[in-house]
Structure 1
Amino acid sequence: MPVKATAGYLTGYGDVDFINALPSYTLPFLSREKSYRSFQTDGDSMYPFPEKAIIIGEYVDDWFSLKDNFPCIVVTLNEGIVFKLVSNRIDDERTVRLTSLNPAYKPYDINVSEICEIWKYKCFISDTIFEVPQSIDLINNSINEIKHDIKNILKKHCS
């Protein structure tokens, strides 16, 4: 689902003609017995995937079967299309908890009546390589400095 088509998808997901007009594809590692849909990322909306990556999801027919903290693409009436970790609270509260992999966003609950579709994450396609967050680089540099310092201390004490 290209980003430009997202708004159309939100209004046409229940229209058989609209769905039949969507481009179709096959990938050799996906079962022909299941339904899949791809969604294109936009900005940090589907973090940690790079912008314009294609996330492929497998249609979830039985929402009660969802395992907690499983990554899913959730098509909602009010939030649009989001990629979140889904925690199943349907039996107790008629909600699912949506938790972003992006720590800038807090988890929130959404009533099942606001959910149109759920697609569990299968894989993604991107022409961009993930960038290592700068904080990881800083941690690695600090560890290397500590290792260097320890070697110097051991050399002085063992000589």
Structure 2
Amino acid sequence: MLSTNLKYLRKRLGITQAQMAEKISIKRSLIGAYEEGRAEPKLSTLVSISRLFGISLDSLITQDHSQLVPSLDQEEANKQEGKLRVLAITVDQDHNENIELVPQRASAGYLNGYADPEFMEDLPKFRLPMLAGTGTYRAFEIAGDSMLPLVSGTVIVGRFVEDWNYIKDGTPCIIVSQREGVVFKRLFNKVKTGAYMALHSDNPVYPPYEVPVNDILEIWEAKAYISSSFPMADLSLSKLSSIVLDLQHEVMKLKKAI
């Protein structure tokens, strides 16, 4: 099915095997082998092919070519509504997804290169076995003190969020937007008519603000962080009072159970 789809989509786009090979940076002979079913593309190549044709990986691999035209039309409509997000990834020699690191100095370039496989290839990469197989992850080095106690230079590891409607209010996320760039905030999803999302800082000095949904390019739910600075313990009076109240509550529960 994949081989038939590749040939059909290439002809629909009106390009030769050589032109297609040049666009996705592989040898022309490989395109012929894929279309004849003599070889299977690796994951990174499939991602490049899906981007070239503007079609999801799932449709490319599982749908018959006769069903692709309505699928393509629907995806084009989704693009216009800002619902379809093409994600460029990199994989290791065993086809396991990497975690790409976006340093502070590369944040501005990320706005233009977030969907470009070549840009992704140039970023530092690593893997965390504890996160393997649970989604697609990317790491971002944050700047500023708006999310204390996490300090500037902390690396936030986020999991890609495909459907933004399921983000719980208050979830810490990396938000990539045309207006704000790359920021780390707590996200509140249901604002006004759904045309905006509210971004809150943990540092009360910074007031919350809204970002138009149409300006947002990607959202990554924070799942881990890497830092050379350890957060200071919160020993404020309010925190100590909360701890005492919790202890009293547990003591009362124990007394009732005896």
Range of TM-score over shorter length:
0.7 to 0.9
Structure 1 residues 10 and 112, CA, compared in 2 at 3 Å: closer, same or farther?
same
**Cα–Cα, structure 1 residues 88 and 107, in superposed 2: closer, same or farther, change >3 Å?**
same
Is 1:107 aligned to 2:204, yes or no?
no
Contact (CA 8 Å) 1:90, 1:112: kept in 2 or not? no
Distance across 2 between alignment mates of 1:43 and 1:105: 11
The size of the alignment, in residue pairs, is 139
Query: What SS does structure 2 have at the residue aligned with 1:73?
Result: strand
Q: What TM-score, normalized to structure 2?
A: 0.49
Distance 1:125 1:80 in 2: 21
Aligned equivalent of 2:124:
23
The one-letter amino acid of 1:87's match is F
CA RMSD of aligned residues (A): 2.3
The structure showing larger relative contact order (alpha-carbon pairs under 8 Å, at least 6 residues apart) is 1
Percent identical: 40
**Bigger radius of gyration, 1 or 2?**
2
Q: Contact 2:149 / 2:232 at 8 angstroms: preserved in 1?
A: no
Which residue identity does 1:104 align to in structure 2?
V
Deviations 1:29-65 (A, max 9, x none): 1133411111112231543312211110000011111
> Mapping of 1:57-136 within 5 angstroms?
57-89=158-190, 92-132=193-233, 136=235
**Structure with the larger strand share:** 1
CA contact 1:68–1:86 (8 Å) conserved in 2: yes
Q: Which runs of 4+ in 1 moved over 4 A?
A: none
Structure 1 unaligned spans of 5+: 144-159
What CA distance in whole angstroms lies between the structure 2 residues aligned with 1:116 and 1:74?
Answer: 8
Q: Is it true that 1:3 corresponds to 2:104 in the alignment?
A: yes
Amino acid at match of 2:128: L
Normalised TM-score (structure 1): 0.77
| Code of the aligned partner of 2:150 | F
Instruction: Assess if the C-alpha contact under 8 Å between 1:96 and 1:111 holds in 2.
Output: yes
